[in-house]
């Protein structure tokens, strides 16, 4: 990474995917806790829109990935911390996130469960329940790590 020139993201191997998820596991639950304290209307609206797009399921894998990414980026944005926004932006850049999402090969049931989990996180944030928002987000990202590793293990 070069100062004032943005991030350069290499193609990810299995270890890189794991590292990206581990970083998300550090950032996103803490961001959810902060978001539930602040509850900014604009970010909450973006999260609601992302869940609605997930539920519609139109547009194929790329659109579903975009809806999931938009939910997580809005969640981090709701924390009100520009440094967290930058970190999340790097972790969710399309080449990283799409590779991880495609590796999971989500089933229709998993897609529904993912939207349900996003909706539960959103509800906790909207109700101003920081601990619950943090816990739900931690479980959500940890489950995604397990799914990704299972999918990659099946390919190896």
pTM exceeds 0.75:
yes
> Exposure pattern of 109-139 as b/e (b: 16+ CB <10 Å)?
eebeebbebbbbbbebbeeebbebbbbbbbe
Domains and CATH numbers, the chain: 14-155 (1.20.120.530)
Show the tokens assigned to 73.
Answer: 């980026």
Q: Under DSSP, is residue 59 helix (H, G, I), strand (E, B) or coil?
A: coil
In this prediction, residue 3 carries a pLDDT of 46
The per-residue pLDDT for range 127-156, each reduced to its tens digit, is 999 999 999 999 999 998 888 777 666 554
The pLDDT value recorded for residue 107 is 75
Q: When comparing pLDDT for 154 and 65, which is higher?
A: 65
Single out the residue of 41, 49, 39 nearest to residue 69, CA to CA: 49
Task: Catalogue the E-assigned strands of the chain.
Answer: none
**Interatomic CA distance for residues 70 and 142, integer angstroms:** 19
How many Cα atoms within 13 Å fall on the side-chain side of residue 156? 8
Q: Are 85 and 76 in contact (CB under 8 A)?
A: yes
Residue 62: per-residue pLDDT: 77
Nearest to 74 by CA among 57, 102, 58, 54: 54
């Amino acid at each position: 990474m070069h100062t004032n020139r943005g991030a350069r993201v290499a193609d990810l191997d299995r270890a890189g995917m794991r590292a990206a998820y581990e970083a998300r596991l550090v950032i996103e639950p803490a961001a959810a806790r902060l978001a539930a304290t602040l509850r900014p209307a604009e970010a909450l609206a973006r999260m609601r829109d992302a869940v609605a797009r997930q539920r519609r399921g139109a547009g194929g894998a790329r659109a579903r990935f975009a809806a999931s990414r938009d939910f997580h980026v809005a969640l981090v944005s709701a924390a009100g911390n520009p440094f967290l926004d930058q970190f999340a932006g790097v972790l969710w850049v399309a080449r990283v996130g799409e590779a991880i999402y495609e590796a999971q090969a989500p089933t229709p049931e998993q897609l529904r469960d993912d939207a349900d989990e996003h909706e539960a996180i959103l509800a906790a944030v909207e109700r101003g329940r920081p601990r619950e928002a943090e816990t739900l987000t931690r479980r959500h990202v940890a489950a995604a790590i397990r799914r990704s590793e299972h999918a990659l293990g099946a390919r190896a």
